[in-house]
Amino acid sequence: MNLNKKFNTIDLLNITLSHRAKSRCLIILFFLINAYSFSQSITSTVDSTAIKIGSQFNLTIKANVKPTDKVSFPEGQTFGALEILESYPVDTVKIKDKYELIKKYGLTQFDSGRYVLPQLVVLINNKTVKTDSFPIVVNNVVVDTTKQQMYDIKDIVKVEEPVSYWWLWAILILLGIAATGFGLYYFIKKRQTIKNEKEAILFASPIEKALAKLQTLEKRELWQHGETKAYYSELTDITRTYIEEAVDVPAMESTSAELYEALVIAVRNKNIKLSRETLDQFKKVMSNADLVKFAKSKPLDFEIENDKKGIDTFLISLDKAIPRSEEETQNLFAEELKRKKDRKQKLQRILIPLTAVVMLLGIVGVFFIVTKGTEFVRDNIIGHSSKSLLESEWVTSDYGDPAISISTPKVLKRFVDEKIQNNLSSNIKSVSDFRYGSLTDNIAITLGTVKLNDTIKIDLDIALEARLKGMESLGAKNITVQVDDYEDPKGLTGKKAFGTFTGVNLITKESVEMQYQVLIFAQNGGAQELMLAFKKDDEYASQIMDRIIQSIELKKAIPNE
C-alpha cells in the first residue's frame, strides 16, 4: 500500500514535471517560430567580402512582405566604418500574393584593414528586423618596386592651353548685330523717304512740289543719256505748273512769249517785287527750251547746267517775292508741322534699330549665360566686382618653386614671358609668374618665385626696387612708396612696400587711383614675392587683400642635388 502510494507520488511528480517541460518547450517553440518567420521575411547578401582600397562592393537587402506592409530600409552616409557611395532605388518583384522588395547599396572604404558591416535595422510595420553582419577585408594596392622602375619627380612642364575661339564668335555676333542695326536704320529711312516724296507731291506747297519734282528730274539723268528734249520739256512743265499755281497765270496753254508777258503783268499788278534781271533770265531759259524742243538745238553740258540753275533761282526768287496771304501763312504752318514730322521720323530711325540691337545683345547675353555659365560671362565679359569675389568660394593652392601657398578668390593663371625665360642668368634655375587681373582692375594679384642653382640669398631691397620698376612698365604712375620690414604672427619675415599709384583704365581712358602692397621673402636657394593692388577706398577689395595675406604659407626651397 505504501509502495503504491510512493509510486503514485513519483508518477504524479513526473507527470507534473512533464507538463511544465512541455509548456516551456511550447513557449520556446513560439519564439522560434516568430523569429523564424521574421528572419525569412528579410535576407541580406554582399557580392564580395574582400576589396581593394576605394573599390565598391554591393550590399543587397530583400524583404518578402504583403502588399499592405510598410517597409523602411536603413539610410545614412555610412554603415559602421564603411562609406555609402550610392543608395539605389528599391526594386519590386511580385511573387504570388506577396511582394519582394530589393534594396541595393554601393559601399567602400579608403583605408586598408578588416571591417565589419554591422547589422542594419529594417522596419516592417514599425517592427524592427535586423540584417546579417558581414566581415569585410580592405586590401592595400601592392606596388612591386623591384619590377616597376621608379623615376625622380620631373620639373614642371609648360602645357599649352587649348585654343578657344569664343571671342571670335563673339566678335562675329557683335558685327552681325551692328549690321542688323544699320540695315534696319537704312530700311526705315528709305521707306520714310518714299512716303515723304509721295506726300510732298500730294500735299506740299507749290514751291515744295516744284523743287521736289526738279530733284526727281535730276536723278533720272535724262540729258546725260542723250534725252535733252525730254529733259527740257519736263523742266519747263514743272516751271509752268508752279507759275500757274502760285501766281494764277494760265501758263500751261501759253507760248513762252505769252507766258513771259503775262508774268510781267502779274508781277506789276500783284506787287511782286521781282527784278527785271530775274525775269530776263527766265525768258532766256524758256527760249533755249523752245530751241531744243522745236529747232532740235543741242546745247552744251555747261549750258544745260546753267539753265537748270537759272530755273532754280527764278522759282525761289519768285516764291520769296510773292506777298504772303492767309493761305500762305497756313502753308507756313504746314511746313512747320512737316519739320516736326521729320524730327519724329529721324527719332524713329534711331530708336527702332537701337532697341533691336539692345534686344539682340540681351538674347546673346542670355545665350552665353545658359551655354557657358555665369562664371564664364563674369570672367570674360562683365568682370567680377570686389564684393562678388569676397563672397565667392575661395581656392587654396601652391604656386611656383619654392612654393607659396595662398588662398585667393580665383585661381591664378601662369604667365610666361619668353624673353625672361630665355635670358636667365647662370645662377637662376627657374622663374615662375602667376597673375589675376591687371593694374587697372578692381583687384590685381601677382605672385612670383625664383629658384636658384645654389644657396645664395637674394637681396630683398634690390628685389623690391625691381618690382616697383616693373609696376611702372605696366602703366603705373605717380607711385608713392613706404618700405618696412615684414613679420606676421606665423613668423614669416621679409620686406614690405606699400602705397598708392595712378593707373589708366584701358577702356574708358580714365585715371584710376589704386593702392598696393608688395611682400618679398628670401631664403637660401630661392625667393618668393606677392603683389596685391586694388582700387582705392574699395572696402571689399581691402578685405580681400587682408584675407590673402593672412593665408600665406611659405615652402622651403629644396637644395639641388
For the cut 80, the answer to whether the pLDDT of residue 561 exceeds it is no
For residue 150, count CB atoms less than 10 angstroms from its CB and return exposed for 0-12, middle for 13-18, buried for 19 or more.
Answer: exposed
- Residue indicated by cell numbers 521720323: 345
C-alpha cell at 219: 536723278
For residue 522, count CB atoms less than 10 angstroms from its CB and return exposed for 0-12, middle for 13-18, buried for 19 or more.
Answer: buried
Task: Provide the Cα torsion 278, 280, 281, 286; round to 10°.
Answer: 130
DSSP string, 326-380: HHHHHHHHHHHHHHHHHHHHHHHHHHHHHHHHHHHHHHHHHHHHHHH-HHHHIII
- Whether the link from the prior residue into 402 is cis, omega within 30° of 0, is yes
- Report the chain's terminal Cα–Cα distance, integer Å: 113
Report helix, strand or coil for 412.
coil
**pLDDT at residue 23, rounded to an integer:** 43
**Chain center to CA of 250:** 72
**pLDDT at residue 331, rounded to an integer:** 58
- Biggest CA-to-CA distance, the chain: 184
Which of the pair, 16 or 78, is modelled with greater confidence? 78
Which of the pair, 165 or 97, is modelled with greater confidence? 97
80 phi and psi angles, rounded to 5 deg: 65, -130
- C-alpha neighbours within 13 Å on the C-beta side of residue 405: 6
Q: Whole-angstrom Cα distance, residue 3 to residue 11?
A: 12
**pLDDT at residue 30, rounded to an integer:** 38
Which of the pair, 521 or 456, is modelled with greater confidence? 521
- Strongest mean pLDDT among 360-364, 455-459, 496-500: 496-500
Report helix, strand or coil for 98.
strand
- Strongest mean pLDDT among 200-204, 263-267, 333-337: 263-267
**pLDDT at residue 28, rounded to an integer:** 39
- Residue indicated by cell numbers 533761282: 313
For the cut 50, the answer to whether the pLDDT of residue 75 exceeds it is yes
Q: Whole-angstrom Cα distance, residue 32 to residue 380?
A: 72
Q: Whole-angstrom Cα distance, residue 48 to residue 42?
A: 19
- Strongest mean pLDDT among 20-24, 72-76, 371-375: 72-76
- Print the SS3 string covering 57-74: EEEEEEEEECCCCCEECC
For the cut 80, the answer to whether the pLDDT of residue 413 exceeds it is yes
AA identity, residue 505: N
Could you read off the pLDDT of 417-426 as tens digits, one per residue? 777 766 777 7
- What is the average per-residue pLDDT within 181-195? 80
**Cβ atoms 214, 204 nearer than 8 A:** no
Q: Whole-angstrom Cα distance, residue 197 to residue 179?
A: 27
pLDDT band at 157 (very low <50, low <70, confident <90, very high): low
**pLDDT at residue 108, rounded to an integer:** 93
AA identity, residue 496: K
For residue 541, count CB atoms less than 10 angstroms from its CB and return exposed for 0-12, middle for 13-18, buried for 19 or more.
Answer: buried
Please list, residue by residue across 220-230, b when 16 or more beta carbons sit within 10 angstroms of its beta carbon and e when fewer do: eebbeeeebbb
**Cβ atoms 75, 122 nearer than 8 A:** no
**pLDDT at residue 212, rounded to an integer:** 84
C-alpha cell at 213: 519734282
- What is the average per-residue pLDDT within 390-395? 80
- What is the average per-residue pLDDT within 490-511? 74
Q: Whole-angstrom Cα distance, residue 211 to residue 190?
A: 19
**Sheet of 113-117: strands edge to edge?**
50-52, 134-139, 113-117
Instruction: Choose the weakest-confidence range: 144-158, 230-244, 298-312, 387-401.
Output: 144-158
**pLDDT at residue 38, rounded to an integer:** 41
**Chain center to CA of 242:** 62
Sign of CA dihedral 466, 468, 472, 475: positive
**Cβ atoms 359, 351 nearer than 8 A:** no
- H helices then E strands: how many in the chain? 13, 22
Task: Provide the Cα torsion 170, 172, 174, 180; round to 10°.
Answer: -150
For the cut 60, the answer to whether the pLDDT of residue 388 exceeds it is yes
- Print the SS3 string covering 420-485: HHCCCCCCEEEEEEEEECCCCCCEEEEEEEEEECCCCCCCHHHHHHHHHHHHHHCCCECCCCEEEE
Helix (H) or strand (E) run with residue 255 in it: none
For the cut 60, the answer to whether the pLDDT of residue 416 exceeds it is yes
For the cut 90, the answer to whether the pLDDT of residue 134 exceeds it is yes
For the cut 80, the answer to whether the pLDDT of residue 396 exceeds it is yes
The set of residues, in sequence order, having a beta carbon less than 8 Å from that of 162 and lying 6+ positions away, is none
**Cβ atoms 281, 274 nearer than 8 A:** no
**By percentage, how much of the chain surpasses pLDDT 70?**
75
- C-alpha neighbours within 13 Å on the C-beta side of residue 409: 25
pLDDT band at 146 (very low <50, low <70, confident <90, very high): low
Nearest to 243 by CA among 304, 326, 322, 307: 322
Global confidence as pTM: 0.38
Could you read off the pLDDT of 11-58 as tens digits, one per residue? 433 444 344 444 444 433 333 334 334 444 889 999 999 999 889 999
- Print the SS3 string covering 429-443: EEEEEEEECCCCCCE
**Cβ atoms 116, 151 nearer than 8 A:** no
**pLDDT at residue 107, rounded to an integer:** 93
The set of residues, in sequence order, having a beta carbon less than 8 Å from that of 535 and lying 6+ positions away, is 386, 442, 443, 512, 513, 514, 515, 541
Please give the mean pLDDT across all residues of the chain: 77
**pLDDT at residue 3, rounded to an integer:** 39
**Cβ atoms 402, 435 nearer than 8 A:** no
**pLDDT at residue 31, rounded to an integer:** 38
**pLDDT at residue 20, rounded to an integer:** 47
Beta strands at 134-139 and 50-52: parallel, antiparallel or unpaired: parallel
